[in-house]
Structure 1
Amino acid sequence: MLAMTLLYWLQPWEPSPTVMICTLLAAVLFVRGKRHARVSLARQISFWFGLGALYVVLHTRLDYYFEHEFFMHRAQHLVLHHLGPFFIALAYPGAALRAGIPFKWRQRFVRPVLAARPVRVALDIVMHPVVAVGLFVGLIYFWLFSPIHFIAMLDWRLYRVMNWSMVIDGLLFWWLVLDSRPAPPARLSPGKRVLVVIAAIPAQIVLGAFIFFTPRELYPVYSICGRAFTWLSPIRDQQIGGLLLWIPGSMMSVIGALVALRHWMRLSARGRLQQDRRAGVRAAEGAPPKEGRTLRT
């Protein structure tokens, strides 16, 4: 009985070949790659949890509720933009995913694509700290702008664009913030990674509070199309959705900042920060170390 119930809920409300292919591809590459790249059990659990969470909110019967209740929609985007990408990035699966690609394919396709100037320029732009924060917060505001939200919830094509934009941006943002390496090779120094994720918090709080305290219905599309929970009033539904953005969304950013801070402290303790390495070289050469900060942000 339990198995039948579980299978019922795992059936997609609206089947999507894109979701199935992307999920299966990521899973296969990770399984292949972890044989060659060292991946701890904790990192494996983090990756599978993140990937599984994305699949559940994109390709199960729960999608019906995401389309017919505002607070459920906000819960979906909390997973798509925060929780799922966060745990995938926390697993640092880059080496495993890369190792999962056959060597000839890497040589012939992956490396030329990544080395192409348009791709490098595009990555430099979206990974710039100001742009990264702007996109992370801006996409939330954009898709919650009432007229745009109304259209996105009615047009299945735009609805999928909305969801995929949240997933891709979430992966880029958390990959940038949770990078455990010093800079270089990481794009940002540990201090900047902490500042980037903290900068994303106030705007989420403001928007969540605005939605919560607004006394009128901001998103009538759910009333027009029919609500999944008829016992929940539109205003109460809206308030719960605002709280999900306000509190859990902001808390995920706080947790991200703490993880980035932990990486900063660990790298500093091991002398792997760029300033620390320069000081070590000067000491080895017999030159007196320069005065000033020992941590570069």
Structure 2
Amino acid sequence: MMASVLKWIVPWEFSWVFLLSFIGFSVLYVRGCHRLHVSVGRRLSFWVGMALIYVSLHTYLDYFFEHEFFMHRIQQIVLHHLAPLLIIASYPGTVLHKGLPFRWRLRLLRPARRSWPWRLASAVWCNPAVATVVFVAFILMWLVPSMQTLAMLDWRIYRFMNWSMLASGFTYWWLVLDHRPRPPGRMTPGIRVLSPGITMTPQILAGAIVTFSKHDLYPIFEICGRAFTFNVLTAQLVGGVIMWVPAALIESAGGLLAMRQWLQLSRSGRIRRKPWPTRRTPAAAQP
């Protein structure tokens, strides 16, 4: 029994970078929760998202993600949509900031955030247009059969694919679920609500193309050896449906969360409204 459990816990491809990063963020969050009052719902959302990332990248399940197309699509949906959405919805920024030792915040974090490389990278990567395009582009890029083949054959490209999906997902959902008005937020509340509908459209189209394809688009999974004995086209159809339906549902949930933030901003009077121009009536002619 214990051997069977350990088989699933032991990572298929061990990574010190991932493990140390995961432990580091976990420790910061625990320290921050000790210094701030964080609701149970926010904590649960954060830890479920972190657990999904760990299971997707650092357990034996990674073997199935590498050897079956529909399992691979589940992994990508988790890394790009579900896990970042859950973590960002918990609003962990302040908690992680409080988890840092005060000296680190004063001597390292503050000067780094004021430096021009940080501001330049933030201005480019966190630009709403750039983040939205990158969010969609990474999905479509890794669906190109030749790119998928490279990722499956080279472990370095495979890891870059996973990290790129994770990073673009975090950036996009951080912009969409921002609870502040604009400025200082980078998106207006209305655009935050509409953005998931815009980004889900090309994903739905790509999922439909994969779903209704009559030939094997990704023979690399057959070459590497499939984890299950499913029919090739059946596995591809299931993978296309996963890209099509669950991804759209997750993005719809993100849009609803953004709408909730918009309503809260409106009720609190924090949205700046431009006054409507008053129409001037011409003065009556004097006799």
TM-score normalised by L of structure 1: 0.90
Q: Gaps (5+ residues) in structure 1?
A: 279-289, 293-297
Structure 1 residue 172 corresponds to structure 2 residue 171:
yes
**Secondary structure of 2:35 counterpart:** coil
- Alpha-carbon distance in 2 for matches of 1:22, 1:193: 29
Q: Who is 2:41 aligned against?
A: 42
Question: Would you say the 8 A contact 1:212–1:239 is kept in 2?
Answer: yes
User: Secondary structure of 2:187's partner?
Assistant: coil
Which is worse superposed, 153-162 or 5-14? Answer: 5-14
The corresponding residue for 2:98 is 99
Displacement of 1:37: 2.5
| 1:225 match | 224
8 Å CA contact retained: 1:129, 1:196: no
**AA partner of residue 81 (structure 1):** H
Equivalent pair of 2:128/2:186 in contact (CA under 8 Å): no
Say if 2:273 is the partner of 1:272: no
1:183 Cα deviation (Å)?
A: 2.1
User: What is the one-letter code of the residue matched to 1:274?
Assistant: R
2-side partners of 1:109 and 1:94: how far apart? 17
Deviation for aligned residue 1:274 = 2.2
1:128 match: 127
State the partner residue of 2:276: 291
Alignment partner, residue 240 of structure 1: 238
C-alpha distance in structure 1 between counterparts of 2:115 and 2:207, whole Å:
40
Moved more, 88-97 or 115-124: 115-124
Q: How many residues align?
A: 277
* Aligned-partner residue type, residue 253 of structure 1: E
Letter in 1 for 2:7: Y
Q: Equivalents in 2 of 1:60, 1:44: separation in Å?
A: 23
- Structure 1 position 256 matched with structure 2 position 241: no
Match of 1:15 in 2: 14
Aligned to 1:189: 188
C-alpha distance in structure 1 between counterparts of 2:119 and 2:87, whole Å: 23
Matched, 1:57 2:42: no
- Runs of 4+, deviation exceeding 4 Å: none
Task: Give CA deviations for 1:119-161 in whole Å, capped at 9, x if unaligned.
Answer: 2122222222221211111001111111111011110111001
Q: How does 1:129-144 map to 2 (within 5 A)?
A: 129-144=128-143
Q: Give the aligned residue type for 2:67.
A: H
Letter of the aligned partner of 2:265 in structure 1?
A: L
In structure 2, runs of 5+ residues without a counterpart are 278-287
* Letter paired with 2:183: P
> Residues 222-252 of structure 1: CA distance to partner in whole angstroms, max 9, x if unpaired?
001110002x011111111111111111111
Does the 8 A contact of 1:133 with 1:197 survive in 2? no
Aligned-pair Cα RMSD in Å:
1.3
Q: Aligned AA for 1:264? A: W
Q: Amino acid of the residue matched to residue 261 of structure 2?
A: H
- Kindly provide the CA deviation profile for residues 179-221 of structure 1, in whole angstroms up to 9, marking residues without a partner as x: 1222233222211211222210111100000111111111000
Q: How much has 1:6 moved relative to structure 2?
A: 3.0
Q: Aligned partner of 1:158: which letter?
A: I
Query: 2:280 maps to what in 1?
Result: none
SS of residue matched to 1:34: helix
Within 1, Cα distance between the matches of 2:92 and 2:122? 18
Q: Distance in 1 between matches of 2:165 and 2:201?
A: 19
Please state how far the C-alpha of 1:4 moved relative to its aligned partner: 4.7
Identical-pair percentage: 45
CA distance in structure 2 between the partners assigned to 1:51 and 1:189 by the alignment: 28
